[in-house]
A and B are shown apart, each in its own frame.
Chain A
């Protein structure tokens, strides 16, 4: 499988091309997907679209579940800084 380059908070990162965005973020050691109301980090709990803990902003659209998104060339994801 060929690699793709995605943008994580604007920084180009190379990941293998057939994985979910949730897997890609873990692979890049980005374990904070969103923050709760107190600023505490949250990350996937169910990994199958149920829990909404992996909500990130993709290409400017907020609230998308990283576990349901496949990476693709040029995808831009915004996540809190770990």
Chain B
């Protein structure tokens, strides 16, 4: 009887602990002061370059600018995975904006 009771308590306690340590461990991994990975830093730098170029050419899309802002916020939080993800969007959208200035004019007159 006692065995069953103890087993159930241990099980409950174990599940409870698992529930809280998961996210805490994950956050600790990020907040441990680990700087951005080299890959993330490079991705961010590329995105900043392309967005700057699009801005100079007056072809910057709001989607590129927005994604870069999100990448920079992620960089402040040392979230390398998010930096890479948002930088990729920013770079791609900035590149498309630059390419757009080569599209033919509409209703050519």
A interacts with B: no
Which B positions have Cβ atoms within 8 angstroms of A?
Answer: none
| A residues at B contact (CB < 8 Å) | none
